[in-house]
Amino acid sequence: MIPTEPIGSIPRPVELIKAIENLGDFLDPKLEPLYEDAVRDTVKRFEETGSPIITDGEQRKYHNFWTYCVHGLPNTSAEGFKIPFTAGHVRRMPRLTTGPFRYRVYADQYLDAVKRYTTMPLKQAVISPSALSLMYPAEEIPGYSRQEFIDDLLREHENEIRRCLAKGAQKVQVDFTEGRLAVKLDPSGNLLNSFIGLNNLVLSRFSEDERKRIGVHTCPGGDRDSTHSADVDYADLLPSLFELRAGNFYIALTGEKDRIRVLKIIREYLKPDQRAFVGVVSPIDPRIDTPQEVRDRVLEAAEYIPLEQLGTTDDCGFSPFSDDLSTTRETAFAKIKGRVEGTQIAAEILGIG
């Protein structure tokens, strides 16, 4: 069959979002029953879509997919790296003020929570070291060099992935949305190349079998129905992306103006031991994709990517930032159901369903 997987995030229940806003703290113990209900409901709805692998919808991730592991660290400042979106708003990373760098939360704890409600195969998304590297300021921190920071960062990231694999995650997905953004920030490609090199320093620490369970996700961002780097040509990213030592790649495709051109680039640079999961639904498009539309997108992709290396996914998470109300839970799960059913229909047409 053609494997199909979600990216990760699902919009949180409005009640949970409002409670977080009122309490002003993602870690307030009063939120625990709401978090638990959100995970339970997410699992139930995921199972109803027929998805062969599910996530917890990132219901418990503190604020967003990018900074969940460092949210609330005492040695950070809120005024860090800026990420501008086309909708006009800006997201910011925390800035490291002193050393050492340590995660406050590891993503394997989210697996503990979701396993209380399902025995289905699970996927866990984690943030890339290249994204977190943006926390270190341009000027060196006294007594804590950039190299010391990088050493600590790589160790923490490796530890997080290993913890997730040890907890039984079938797939661990490294979120690399900053890849396309790097090309926008530095068209020379130097920043992107440094990101690729940094991420490979960790990926190279895993065995070949372990890397089959590790993937990398790239997209132009998705927040409040807008992006941060959709204007960047995929031709400037994808050749470098497939140099990452991972077994799976989750590539936003539905929102591209020329999908055929992108598929040709994927075909050219995809290595024999890699699988490309192409996006067949767009989370920032409010219209619900039908199974027939998904079917056609899968059949289109199958003309360029070998079937044994093809998979399908969503272009992006449905709510990477927890306060995003632009998409409802109902819409997200309807789109996922369309992806699952459309992929199955295409597989049957191709004779592998």
Would you state the pLDDT for residue 339? Answer: 98
Would you state the pLDDT for residue 322? Answer: 75
Kindly give the interhelix angle for 291-302 and 259-269, rounded to the nearest 10 degrees: 40
Q: Which of 107, 96, 86, 168 is nearest to 136 (CA)?
A: 96
Would you state the pLDDT for residue 204? Answer: 97
Q: How far apart are CA 39 and CA 58, in angstroms?
A: 8
Would you state the pLDDT for residue 231? Answer: 82
Residue 57: inside a domain: yes
> 90-92 and 95-96 as β-strands: parallel, antiparallel, unpaired?
unpaired
Residue 209: inside a domain: yes
Span 267-295, pLDDT tens digits: 999 999 999 999 999 998 999 999 999 99
Span 301-322, pLDDT tens digits: 999 999 999 999 999 999 888 7
Residue 41: inside a domain: yes
Q: How far apart are CA 285 and CA 282, in angstroms?
A: 6
Span 182-203, pLDDT tens digits: 898 899 999 999 999 999 999 9
List the chain residues with pLDDT less than 70.
225-226, 353
CATH number at residue 259: 3.20.20.210
Whether the pTM exceeds 0.85: the reply is: yes
Would you state the pLDDT for residue 152? Answer: 98
Would you state the pLDDT for residue 334? Answer: 98
Q: What is the amino acid identity at position 55? A: T
Q: Domain count for the chain, please give it.
A: 1
Would you state the pLDDT for residue 139? Answer: 93
Q: What is the amino acid identity at position 224? A: R
Q: How far apart are CA 171 and CA 161, in angstroms?
A: 10
Domain, as residue range, for 288: 14-349
Residue 2: inside a domain: no
Would you state the pLDDT for residue 32? Answer: 93
Contact 200, 129 (CB under 8 A): no
Q: Which of 216, 139, 232 is nearest to 184 (CA)?
A: 232
134 secondary structure, DSSP code: G
Would you state the pLDDT for residue 221? Answer: 74
